Amino acid sequence: MRQSWYVIQTKPQREKDVTQLLKQGGFESFLPLIHERIYRKGTPSFRVAPLFPSYVFIHTNLEEKNHFHLIKYTRGVNKIICAENRPVPLPDEFVGTIRTHMNPEGIITPQKTLINGDKVIVIKGILKDLIGILQKPADHLGRVQVLLKLVNYQMKATLHWNEVERLKVA
């Protein structure tokens, strides 16, 4: 029997527990994580969170009743995603594509495709609505360097990539 990737819905905030339990049970499981920026009381910070909250992927043969039963009744599992009472396999490329976007630590760091010299506008924070030129593209923490022009003064600002966007030329 052929193994495929399947989607498992977990109970809220139990993705890591379910992934660990499935690995302990001998299953290949996959929990894609994303490095995201959050704001707490207006202060930006970063956290690593599931790319798909409450979902985990598993590579197995769910046609085997024993596997299906073990996974379905793993602590923290809500259900196996099915259609017409049969588990729905995912194309292998789906998980492969997600993995190509991960860094060496196994985390996705989303970045806009901005390049040096792009004219950008600040869309968040205290510098909102200022226009500048991108001097350094996003680093491993997602920071970009922008040269802003303020009246007769040029100022370099280091911002997060999601605080700027390419200026649309009309």
| Residues 53-94 pLDDT 10s | 999 999 999 988 899 999 999 999 999 999 998 999 998 888
Helix (H) or strand (E) holding 67: helix 65-72
| Cα distances (angstroms) measured from residue 99 to each of 51, 72, 119, 160 | 12, 25, 31, 23
Tokens of 144: 């970009």
pLDDT of residue 36: 76
CB burial string 41-75: b at 16+ within 10 A, e below: eeeeeeeeebbeeebbbbbbebeeeebbebbeebe
pTM beyond 0.75, yes or no:
no
User: pLDDT tens digit string along 25-48?
Assistant: 999 999 999 877 677 776 667 788
The residues, any chain, with a CB within 8 Å of residue 113's CB and separated by 6 or more, are none
Q: Which domains does the chain have, with CATH numbers?
A: 4-108 (3.30.70.940), 119-166 (2.30.30.30)
